[in-house]
Amino acid sequence: MPRPFLIRHLARNHLQRRLQSTVTYAAPTDAAAGAVPNASPPPPPPAPLTQEQKDLIASMLRVDQAGELGANWIYKGQMAVFENDPKVGPVVQHMWDQEKFHLSTFDELIGKNRVRPTALRPLWEFAGYTLGAGTALIGKEAAMACTEAVETVIGEHYNDQLRELLKIDHPEVAKLRAVIKQFRDEELEHLDTAVVHDAKNAPAYPGLNAAIQQGCRAAIWVATRV
């Protein structure tokens, strides 16, 4: 073997041996780390929720399920009018699809936590559908003004809940916070979508906006309790 080639060959072999020794060195160290006899013990399980915290979460799940139910029926009412509108239809359908997921998530959480669902389901369905279809019949701008008003109140409502839930240090509550945070963000996206699609050009916009926001706040007050 020519001398320069031999040197390169020996150097490469040396490097390979060093790499191999590094890999075989690293593995036992990692394994050994888990076997240290004095490793710190796993953290204790979280303290169970108090009855007061459970009641608070139950009322949150109840009002959120009712709100998402109402939102679904608002979009259902709007889609009854805009189904064949190639511009507005897909915009409303996208928001409705997200509302369907919000509702199914709260349906699941209500079942899993054995919370009594809202006793006023037919009322929220009727009110939602009437509001959605009624504003859509006035026009696209009024439908979007409805969405803007509703999502403004729902965004604030979810923010209020997030502030309350931040006071409870529990992994299950942390999961619920993540769900509400995601939905809050999506509701605010709906609000932005409505503004982009001319919500503020609706006829009698200030009165319409104020009336719908007031109605939503009243509905939240009732749904938290009934």
Which among 191, 197, 198 has a CA at the least distance from the CA of 213? 191
Chain position carrying tokens 């079942």: 111
Q: Does 187 bind Fe ion (CB under 5 A)?
A: yes
Nearer to Fe ion, 81 or 155 (CB): 155
Residues 34, 40, 41, 46, CA torsion sign = negative
Contact criterion met (CB below 8 Å) for 183 and 102: yes
Binding mask 87-126 for Fe ion (x = CB under 5 A): ------------x--x------------------------
Nearer to Fe ion, 32 or 148 (CB): 148
Q: How many residues bind Fe ion (CB under 5 A)?
A: 6
Nearer to Fe ion, 99 or 141 (CB): 99
Nearer to Fe ion, 19 or 80 (CB): 80
In the 8-state DSSP scheme, what is residue 202? Answer: S
Stretch of 8-16, 74-82, 123-131, 180-188 contacting Fe ion, by CB under 5 A? 180-188
Q: How far is the CB of 50 from Fe ion (least distance, A)?
A: 29
Q: Does 190 bind Fe ion (CB under 5 A)?
A: yes
Q: Does 148 bind Fe ion (CB under 5 A)?
A: no
Chain position carrying tokens 């916070």: 177
Which among 81, 71, 206 has a CA at the least distance from the CA of 139? 81
- As a whole number of angstroms, the distance between CA 195 and CA 207 comes to 16
Binding residues for Fe cation: 68, 99, 102, 151, 187, 190
Q: How far is the CB of 64 from Fe ion (least distance, A)?
A: 9
Joined tokens for residue 206:
């200030």
Q: How far is the CB of 38 from Fe ion (least distance, A)?
A: 50
Q: Does 184 bind Fe ion (CB under 5 A)?
A: no
Which residues, at least 6 apart from 146, have a Cβ–Cβ distance to it below 8 Å? 74, 78, 131, 132, 135, 208, 212
Q: Which residues of 190-213 are buried (b: 16+ CB within 10 A; e: fewer)?
A: bbebbeebebeebeebeebbeebb
- As a whole number of angstroms, the distance between CA 105 and CA 113 comes to 12
Nearer to Fe ion, 106 or 165 (CB): 106
**Region 4-23 residues binding Fe ion, contact defined as CB under 5 A:** none
Nearer to Fe ion, 55 or 108 (CB): 108
Q: How far is the CB of 95 from Fe ion (least distance, A)?
A: 6
Q: Does 64 bind Fe ion (CB under 5 A)?
A: no
- Contact set with Fe ion (CB under 5 A): 68, 71, 99, 102, 187, 190
